[in-house]
Structure 1
């Protein structure tokens, strides 16, 4: 695991923002902390969500990035398999990118990252 970029798929977030944030902090954060040790970083694959989830996601990713530096912590939200693969490659090749939640649109995956 040392030196590699880690990927954690998060599929089980509740629909309500407060419940989703609580679940994230109790169940997902410990996984991130464990996987970040000795890794280049951790990229989360989150489900798409509406704007009511934007603030807690941004705050959580920013705090984790600061706490776990120099490991880079980012999240990809939504998107289809092709969009996620392209975005994972983008994140891996962007050494200054950390603490970000990047929303994906699978229909425009080629446009967004080219």
Structure 2
């Protein structure tokens, strides 16, 4: 079986799904204590890397997404599917799992 190398540019989300590049998690507490990997919380902030064409309406037309590539977003903690592409960590989310756009 041949190995397939995937990257964000070769994978396109479907419907109202988006690829979010996960931001690095905090390795230190506010007091300066280093956290081991097991104690680090899953990040909830990331940058949109790819977006799908949008959700289909009942009449067959597409509903445009409120977000676009490059937006920094806050998403639900346990939402989506974790994916590793090209050494980078991504989360594949539905638009409804995105809580806010962060400036």
Do the two structures share a fold, i.e. TM-score over 0.5? Answer: no
Q: Looking at CA atoms only, which structure, 1 or 2, has the larger radius of gyration? A: 2
Q: Which has the higher strand share?
A: 2
TM-score (structure 2 length as normaliser): 0.26
Q: Which has the higher helix share?
A: 1
The higher-RCO structure (CA 8 Å, 6+ apart) is 2
